[in-house]
Amino acid sequence: MIYTFDLSDKIILITGGYGYLGRAITEGLVFHGATVYVLGRSQEKFNQAFDTNIEKESRLLFENCDISKTDSIKMAFKKVYDSTGKIDVLINNAFYSEGQSPYKMTDKEWSTGIDGTLSSVFRCIREVVPYFEKNHSSRIINVSSMYGVVAPDFSVYDDFEKFLNPPHYGAAKAGVIQLTKYYASLLGDKNITVNSITPGPYPSEEVQKSKDFINELADKTALKRIGKPEDLAGAFIFLASETSNYITGQNIVVDGGWTIK
């Protein structure tokens, strides 16, 4: 049998699928034939993010979901399952956070960042497993970060303190990688694969207005440029497709060579 990147039989859920990176991931999955449910809190942002022609294909849909609330996650998953009869892939992409200063961060800000970046992933995994156990094969794809793999080079931020990466973000993203390995080991005998994808420097369009900071980021990579959203989408298409059937517990780094230095 020849496995391909065709996703035409897949029902895929992605949290935060209308954001800067999420949009490119979502569009890539739809292009390869998947039916994608974007889980988020704002249908207005969903409508603004996507071309109406894609929406008319009825393979790109919105489902209200607040990843900070277990009841909301349960309801969203149940509504999709009741509508489609299955869920094949869950992509944990959304996160929320508060605070930035490594010296003045409050206990509340720390807890919120850990909850929004790590605990929310746990909640989504826990709630999707009962649906995945009904399938013959399912996928969980978690999103980590280069700062879950390596510490920041703080010299990059010397003149750009407002962009400084906060301490709870990297700690939680490292936790996402370990959580990925944990559930890959636990769920392997159910033919549920669990992998993570680690983006490198993909600054938002707003951050890109600071050309000097972007040059600092680009210089830290082997390819000497920041990442574009479309650079990231391919890894998700690969892990969602049958071509990755024998891959689990892995962390795929898509960072232009940032972490090799």
Given a contact cutoff of 8 angstroms between Cβ atoms, the answer to whether 254 and 231 are in contact is yes
Q: What is the pLDDT of residues 212-231, one digit of tens each?
A: 999 999 999 999 999 999 99
First-residue to last-residue Cα distance in the chain: 39
Long-range Cβ contact pairs of 103-106 (< 8 A, separation 24 or more) = 105/166, 105/167, 105/168
- For the chain, list the domains and their CATH numbers: 11-260 (3.40.50.720)
Q: What is the pLDDT of residues 108-141, one digit of tens each?
A: 999 999 999 999 999 999 999 999 999 888 999 9
Task: Read off the pTM.
Answer: 0.96
Active site residues: 169
Report residue 52's pLDDT band, with 50, 70 and 90 as the boundaries.
low
DSSP summary character for residue 232: H
> Residue 224 to residues 93, 147, 204: CA-CA distances in angstroms?
26, 18, 17
Q: Which residue has the tokens 């000497």?
A: 224
